[in-house]
Amino acid sequence: MRQQIIPKYLIYLFLVGFLTPEVVAQVQVNGTVVAADGLPLPSVNVMILNETDSALVKGAVTDDIGIYRMAGIQPGNYILSISMVGFRTHEEAISIYEPGDENFSIDKITLDESIEQLGEVVTTARRPLYEQEIDRLVVNVQRSVTSSGSTALEVLEKSPGVQVNRQSNDISLTGKSGVIVMINDKNVRLPLESVITMLNGMSAANIEKIELITTPPAKYEAEGNAGIINIQMKEYSDLGYTGSFGTNIGYSSAETLGGNFAFSRRKNKLAFLLNYSINYNNSEESMFSERFFTEDGFTQTIRSENFRDPITTVQNISMGFEYALTEKTDTELLLTGFQRKWDTSDVSESLDHSSPNSLLIMEQSINEKNLWRNGIINFGIDHVFSEDRTLNFDLDYLYYKNSNPSSYRLDVVTGDVSPNNADAINVEKETPINIWVSKLDYQHEVSSKITFETGLKSTYSDFVNDVHVSDRVNGNFIVNNSFTNEADLEEFIGAIYLSSSISPSDKFQINAGIRYEHISRNLNSVTEGSIVDRKTGRLFPSLFIQKSIKNDHKVNLSYSRRTTRPTFWDLAPFVFFIDPKTFLSGNSNLKSAISDGFSLGYSRKSFLATLAYTHSSDEIARWQPSFDTETNNQIYSTQNLEFLDTYSLTSSFPLEPLAWWSLRISATGRYQFYRSAHLEDNFSGEAAGFNSNVVNTLDLPKDFSFEVSGFYQSKSVWGIARSRPQGSLNLGLQKKIGNGQGTLRLTATDILNTNILQANNNIESANINSFWRYNFDARSVTVSFTWNFGSNEFEKIEVSSGSEEEQNRVGIN
């Protein structure tokens, strides 16, 4: 086994930089905001922005008597932006110096009431597309014009360092598989293929931002070698009500339609949220695969092509309530639902040239339905003991059900078939899933420099997979015992964690934590009895160090241990056929993967760069091929690699060629080294590649803006397979109407038709030589319209929300 480590002298070099003392201290900025009559204004947004690119530095909200405070500001030149609905936005340039008492006071600011006038010019500060925080990269989705009319999955495909493989149903970060997807900080507890399906039907219009957490802290579950993708939906308004509605219509190979609605209201002790979206898609898909096997001087050829014209309808709905029981205790109830209907009637063609004297060409008629439904109930309590001590409790119940009836009919075009072979197959599959999750978190701010957090978490899951397959032979349907099976999985995960955040100085921050997880998994099938019965426990440490240097320079170092556990679908004993000679199978012998990841980052304002290294043992790789020489069948299944080492360098930076033209470029380069573990003659391999994203935004007169964006992904590693290059060029035109309340957008996605998944395997030692191509019809033109509405009543709320700290940090509602 080859092991890779970071040279010690690099660690020493950067630790010297971290531990070097700084003489420039950060200061606290404070001030007061009042109305024209002199009365204080509560809940006013106050932001300090970078002078060069208007990136958010710090945000706060004024308290009941109009006072705001923001600590940890480095001396320099900034823009102070103060805004509130119903008042004119106030902006001014400020120069923050370092006084002896480290406090910087700004003169009292008076906001004037807004009076709408024709032709009024309003200056607004916009958040950057990407923001780097100590342990994550934040993508502000609403900042991108070409995200309009897109799904959450399409937005992910354009995000820095993210790769989406729709064929193998996998998502990777910086070349590493094993991603966990969260929505509003809650784990989506589904197999990744089902998560991809859900994201492909979720409208981007209701998404505020996406957080890419490559080295998660200890408070998060240890699951996910590559890290966490956290999708943050639009939140409650602070006061009054806000909302939006929108619609989109588009065309690719056929029509696509969608609509979305969001509404939230907060008054007195009660807050309410409602989100709904629906998407209808009638686009075409196609898949082509071929493979070759050489024996005794003859090369056998198996080829298939599948044309699909599915109709897909996806609906998402969420409803949330928040009620203040007391001044210090909030309760929350969240109800969410999801439904995806996928229906297709297609034809596939296959060629089987297994010997010099045998040629078989067949057509396969496919009728397939796939219905996913789920409902989630979440109940939470947030209690504030004091300003420095909080307690949070969450209880979740999740129910999913998948129904997947299918029928296949085989017709011979050329060649002969034995009378004993089936000419039709019926498949019935039902999969109910039940999940219970409970979580308790306690946070104690010991001082302004030290914060501790600890918590407990338990998860119980119960999966059932009932597959019934019958073959029609000589006109009669007979149960196929090789494919028919019922399997159930019970899994319990218990966890405890302790983490701390320590700031020895205003420019030096350390986040450290450790998490222990115990897992018990039992997999049984009707035909095979007990297949998996395992109990394991493991520690998962994490460490983050960030050092701020003068002139906005920051460096950070992190380490995190993670795991990727095989899903139920990976383990379940099932077999499905893609064509008469190609099968998809489960693998009950899978092990959990363990990874140790290191990263070293640097940032200055909006420039970001991160160097990372990860060693993963027993890496889990999906859609790995193997070949049965006796039957000429090729089987795809999830397999463990012996190890996978990944080196990556990610960089993102803005350019402003002109005052009205902004350009954001991000790129990730990677080198990977691995060794297989499931073949008779295992081998080592290596590959280098990169992916990049470019976003051009042009601010035009009369509230128009134009965006040109694109991404390119070079060849990359998918287990022992190699994906071929792919990319996308997108255009977007936006017009603001109705004083900015309405947005009209025209977008063209993948205009060059280059976002096509392709991969090949060429392993001589295992006699595996195959190629597949999946075209999911990404090219489309979409027109969308969104209208925002709302009002604020500026009433006093005697509630301390559990998200108050985050609101003060961002300062944006």
- The domain spans of the chain are 8-111, 130-810
463 phi and psi, to 5 degrees? -115, 145
pLDDT at 472 over 80: yes
The per-residue pLDDT for range 626-667, each reduced to its tens digit, is 877 777 777 888 899 999 999 999 888 888 888 788 888 888
Q: Which CATH class is domain 8-111?
A: mainly beta
Pick the range with the lowest mean pLDDT from 79-83, 260-264, 632-636.
Answer: 632-636
Contacts of 586 (CB under 8 A, 6+ apart): 569, 570, 571, 572, 573, 574, 575, 637, 638
Confidence (pLDDT) at 135: 67
Give me the mean pLDDT over the 409-421 stretch. 69
From the CB of residue 566, how many other CB atoms can be counted at a distance below 10 Å?
A: 25
* pLDDT tens sequence across 332-354: 998 989 898 989 888 888 888 87
Cα–Cα dist 461/433, whole Å: 7
Instruction: Tell me the torsion sign for CA atoms 200, 201, 203, 209.
Output: negative
Stretch 72-100: mean pLDDT, rounded? 77
User: Can you read off the two tokens belonging to residue 409?
Assistant: 């009919």
**Of 712, 727, 723, the residue nearest 771 (C-alpha):** 723
Q: Distance between CA 501 and CA 180 in Å, rounded?
A: 24
Find how far residue 582's CA is from the centre of its chain: 31
Non-local (6+) Cβ contacts of 218 within 8 A are 497, 498, 499, 513, 514, 515, 540, 541, 542
Looking at residue 113, the DSSP 8-state letter turns out to be B
Lowest mean pLDDT among 115-129, 251-265, 362-376, 461-475: 115-129
* CA–CA gap between residue 306 and residue 291 (Å, rounded): 15
pLDDT at 393: 94
Residue 767 sits at the vertex; the CA angle it makes with 763 and 773, to the nearest 5 degrees, is 65
CA pair distance 554, 541, nearest whole angstrom = 23
Tell me what pLDDT residue 202 has: 67
Task: Name the CATH code of domain 130-810 (choices 3.90.550.10, 2.60.120.10, 2.30.30.60, 2.40.170.20).
Answer: 2.40.170.20
Contact 294, 300 (CB under 8 A): yes
Neighbours of 739 (CB within 10 A): 11
The model's pLDDT over 15-67, given as tens digits with 9 standing for 90+, comes to: 434 444 444 456 788 889 988 877 788 778 888 887 765 667 788 888 778 88
Average pLDDT over residues 578-606: 84
